[in-house]
């Protein structure tokens, strides 16, 4: 089975432990470009990498993305960038 990286752009308020998905992509640079210049004292943005089977990613890309869903980080996730 072939696995591929998939990336989530998430944010959390400093007063909360909840991560919210605001975008996702197979290209981390697209997500990085969206938050490169952001400086905030109220929130932190994260780019999180997770590996999925390629067939799962293909089906995910063909469905409509739902923004502002909660993201549950686990040991299969890797934070690759944050604005904090």
C-alpha distance from residue 50 to each of 31, 39, 40, 43, 72 (Å): 14, 25, 25, 22, 12
Domain with 62 in it: 3-82
In the predicted structure, residue 67 carries a pLDDT above the cut 80: no
What confidence category does residue 70 fall into, taking pLDDT thresholds of 50, 70 and 90? very high
Summarize pLDDT for 15-60 with one digit per residue, the tens. Answer: 999 999 999 999 999 999 999 889 999 999 999 999 999 999 988 8
Report how many domains make up the chain. Answer: 1
């Amino acid at each position: 089975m072939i696995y591929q990286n998939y990336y989530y752009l998430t944010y959390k308020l400093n007063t909360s432990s909840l991560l919210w998905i605001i975008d996702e992509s197979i290209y981390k640079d697209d997500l990085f470009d969206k938050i490169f210049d952001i400086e905030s004292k109220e929130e932190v943005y994260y780019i999180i990498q997770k590996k999925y089977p390629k067939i799962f990613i293909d089906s995910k890309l063909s469905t409509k993305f739902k923004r502002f869903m909660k993201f549950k980080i686990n040991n299969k996730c890797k934070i690759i960038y944050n604005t904090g």
